[in-house]
Amino acid sequence: MRHTGLVALCLGSTVFLSACQKNSDAQVERALKDINVIDESNLNDVMLTVGDPNEAVAYFTKALQQNPERVDLMRGLAKSLVRAQKPTEAAAVWRQAADHPEGTSEDRVMLADALIRSNQWDEARAQLNQIPPTHESFDRYRLEAMVADADKNWKKADSFYEIAAGLTTKPAGVLNNWGFSKLTRGDSAGAEKLFSEALTYDPNLFTTKNNLVLARAAQRKYDLPVVRMTQTERAELLYSMALAAIKQGDVSVGKSLLQQAIDTHPQHFEAAVRSLEALDANVQT
């Protein structure tokens, strides 16, 4: 009897050890799976930020082929396609994400963004109209402003630009766009104010500095604004101002500004030299 009990005990121990081993294996497998998810998430983030855009496209394309229903991979691929300057392809992927069961209103916003980048304004407008008014985001209002601008609905554009600027801690870009909108409408003073405000948030935006100079030149203010600039930037801004002055008929002012641009540039300023020579040749003839 003692032998029978011992055998039963040993068999019971074997079963118990086997069960423990299975539980242990399952726990290890789950832990490894969790680690893989974390590693994949980190790699996804890297691909979306510092990775080469084309490498990121290849990475997310392969990942999506292996997991075609994962909306996060769709978003990663679409963002990478935008970074790779392929907005039409990005729009197709954003459409899949927006129509996915786990798709969000922000996915549709990004679809509209890709459509605008690929010059599909009517479709972008249609996508924005599908987004409920309760969805309020910086990108949504930034795009709404751009569409209103394209429609020359200035009142609506101004309203959307103002809302968008208030929804971000980095409004320099949207303020620059708003200023450019004002400049194209002929509101040079309003544009100047917005460009100046944009530079208070990001003083390194050369495009905004150039736009500011053009807004001032349109008002015949032919002195450089008091903003931070390098010597090369100073020369290029003087050149932009010179061309604006000449276009407005202020030729003598333009010639003076061209000479200042040439004298200011730390290197040979070929474009300014050619413009001044052409101007002199026209005057002589």
Contacts 24+ apart (CB under 8 A), 136-144: 136/163, 136/167, 137/106, 137/109, 137/167, 138/164, 138/167, 138/168, 138/174, 139/106, 139/109, 139/110, 139/113, 140/105, 140/106, 140/109, 141/167, 142/174, 142/177, 143/109, 143/112, 143/113, 143/116
Q: Are residues 122 and 159 in the same domain?
A: no
**pLDDT at position 49, please?**
74
Examine the fold and report which residue of 76, 98, 130 is the final residue of a domain before the chain moves on.
130
**pLDDT at position 26, please?**
54
Q: Are residues 198 and 143 in the same domain?
A: yes
In this predicted structure, the answer to whether residue 10 has a pLDDT above a threshold of 50 is no
17 lies in some domain? no
150 lies in some domain? yes
User: Is the separation of the CB atoms in 211 and 195 below 8 Å?
Assistant: yes
Tokens of 149: 């601008």
28 lies in some domain? no
Q: Are residues 100 and 140 in the same domain?
A: no
Examine the fold and report which residue of 130, 153, 173 is the final residue of a domain before the chain moves on.
130
**pLDDT at position 211, please?**
97
User: Is the separation of the CB atoms in 227 and 212 below 8 Å?
Assistant: yes
pTM of the model: 0.79
**pLDDT at position 284, please?**
57
In this predicted structure, the answer to whether residue 32 has a pLDDT above a threshold of 90 is no
Q: How many CB atoms lie within 10 A of CB 51?
A: 19
Domain interval for residue 56 = 49-130
Residue scoring higher pLDDT (42 or 38)? 42
Q: Give the count of domains, the chain.
A: 3
Contacts of 132 (CB under 8 A, 6+ apart): 105
Share of the chain above pLDDT 90, in %: 79
Examine the fold and report which residue of 130, 152, 181 is the final residue of a domain before the chain moves on.
130
Tokens of 65: 């082929």
